[in-house]
Amino acid sequence: MKILNSSFTLPNGTILQNRIAKSALSENMGTKKHAPSKELINAYRTWAQGNPGLLITGNVMVDYTAIGEPRNVVVEDDRDMALLKEWADTVKNTDTHLWPQINHPGRQAFSKINKDVVAPSAIPVKINGMKSMFKIPRALVEEEILDIINRFGNTAKVFKDAGFTGAQIHGAHGYLVSQFLSPLSNTRNDKWGGSLENRARFAIEVYRNIRKKVGPEFPVGIKINSADFQRGGFTEEESLEVLQLLDQEGMDLLEISGGSYEAPAMMGQVKKQSTIDREVYFMDYIRKARKITTKPLMLTGGFRTVELMENALADNQLDIIGLGRPFCVNPHVADDIFIRGLKKLETPTPLTGIKAIDKVGGLDVIWYAKQIKLIGQGKEPDLNFSGLKALRQNAWLMFQKAFAKN
């Protein structure tokens, strides 16, 4: 094993000790008031002890009134600074970097837990059988767009002050940044919609606002979709063009994923025939991306064999391997590979036993988040944990949030 365990230097001089990064995994473990809980912080302590190059947190929201999941962490200001510092300290005395993933859900916000749902245009999320879970969003007015951009910058600055060592913008998976990019969710005819340049403006302005507030030394990256995987949506060609636009900005790491709630390609549930036999979801794309951007590339989705990770690095197709689910069932995955010789990462597919639910998929996120909770409680992951039980516990959190007083 050569490259996977070698260090990598980001454009601004930040050194990642190896090529393994935990991609963002929404833990859904904030407190009722959306502060980081002790259990959440503890999960990061455990992850940091496994010595990956980079840990990216689950998505953290920029607005208390716009949340994706009932127990998202929200950071708008420094009210939870002591806890944020404790969270940042989990990587102290290690060489692991810790970046928050900063997000706004836009229309991908469940109606039961959000009063006012906003998006680029008044077009709701459409998922068969789940229509009632999403409202028709209200189209943002320009003043609100500028306010949200500013919020991304403020949130990044608070994290920097707390001691986090970089930040990632969530520009993928159908959340607000990605909604602006997609012609399916953005039909605006002002400077924030229409041409690809206009649709990309929000992502770029979010980046610039963050950069202005955190300065040139602090690594800032973005996770973006290789495509929406929907007819009429954000295409691969458009995504590659956006990479070119981003190439002119001072970003430090571009993470590639794909899909949304409507077409969950990021979880391997929507695959092109050409990638079905291959382990990794967006490999074809990354080869094209490599040719058109000078920025470091991280690829996430499906990596399970160390041999394939090593080959992808050796072929110089990418720089950082992103892992999601493996970190939930194998919290010390980097050390397990480098010290204990692990060669294949096992990630079970959880099922409920209820055909209608299992057919749709999507249980993965809930079941793997349950594993993170166990890690945070200082327990071992439980590969036999019932899918149905995980689903019930998640529904209970949703119910509590829906009927909470504030």
Ligand X SMILES: Cc1cc2nc3c(=O)[nH]c(=O)nc-3n(C[C@H](O)[C@H](O)[C@H](O)COP(=O)(O)O)c2cc1C
Which of 34, 157, 160, 325 binds ligand X (CB under 6 A)? It is 325
Does position 154 bind ligand X by CB under 6 A? no
* Phi-psi group of 392: left, alpha or beta (phi > 0 → left; psi -120 to 50 → alpha; rest → beta): alpha
Residue pointed to by tokens 């002002």: 190
Does position 207 bind ligand X by CB under 6 A? no
Which of 300, 330, 352, 394 binds ligand X (CB under 6 A)? It is 300
Per the structure block, which two tokens stand in for 166? Answer: 């970089």
Q: Which is nearer to ligand X, 117 or 323 (CB)?
A: 323
Name the minimum Å distance from CB 179 to ligand X: 14
Per CB under 6 A, which region of 17-25, 41-49, 227-235, 334-342 contacts ligand X? 17-25
Binding positions for ligand X, 239-258, rule CB under 6 A: 257
Does position 23 bind ligand X by CB under 6 A? yes
Which of 10, 17, 18, 26 binds ligand X (CB under 6 A)? It is 26
Mask 78-107, x = binds ligand X (CB under 6 A)?
A: -----------------------x------
Which of 253, 266, 298, 312 binds ligand X (CB under 6 A)? It is 266
Name the minimum Å distance from CB 292 to ligand X: 22
Q: Which is nearer to ligand X, 36 or 193 (CB)?
A: 36
Mask 302-321, x = binds ligand X (CB under 6 A)?
A: xx------------------
Binding positions for ligand X, 218-237, rule CB under 6 A: 223
Q: What whole-number distance in Å separates Cα of residue 203 and Cα of residue 208?
A: 9
Does position 200 bind ligand X by CB under 6 A? no
Does position 24 bind ligand X by CB under 6 A? yes
Task: Report the relative pairing of strands 15-16 and 8-9 from DSSP bridges.
Answer: antiparallel
Residue pointed to by tokens 């944020």: 84
14: nearest Cα among 89, 70, 92, 98: 98
Name the minimum Å distance from CB 25 to ligand X: 4
- CA-angle at 186, arms to 223 and 193, nearest 5°: 95
Per CB under 6 A, which region of 18-26, 142-150, 237-245, 312-320 contacts ligand X? 18-26
Report the Cα–Cα distance between both ends of the chain, in Å, rounded: 52
**What backbone phi and psi angles, to 5 degrees, belong to 8?**
-135, 135
298: nearest Cα among 357, 361, 237, 222: 222
Residue 47, amino acid: W
Q: What whole-number distance in Å separates Cα of residue 356 and Cα of residue 301?
A: 25
Who contacts 264 (Cβ-Cβ below 8 Å, separation ≥6)?
A: 270, 361, 362
Q: Which is nearer to ligand X, 193 or 371 (CB)?
A: 371
Q: Which is nearer to ligand X, 16 or 60 (CB)?
A: 60
Q: Which is nearer to ligand X, 101 or 155 (CB)?
A: 101
Mask 361-380, x = binds ligand X (CB under 6 A)?
A: ---xx--xx-----------
Q: What whole-number distance in Å separates Cα of residue 373 and Cα of residue 387?
A: 14
12, exposed or middle or buried, with CB in 10 Å at 0-12, 13-18, 19+? middle
Q: Where are the alpha helices (DSSP H) in 89-195?
A: 142-162, 176-181
Which of 19, 97, 160, 170 binds ligand X (CB under 6 A)? It is 170
Length of the chain equals 406
Q: Which is nearer to ligand X, 145 or 363 (CB)?
A: 363
Query: Dihedral (C-alpha) 80, 86, 91, 93: value to the nearest 10 degrees?
Result: 140
Q: What whole-number distance in Å separates Cα of residue 21 and Cα of residue 142?
A: 36
Name the minimum Å distance from CB 40 to ligand X: 13
Binding region for ligand X (CB under 6 A): 23-26, 58-59, 101, 170, 172-173, 223, 257, 266-267, 300-303, 323-326, 364-365, 368-369
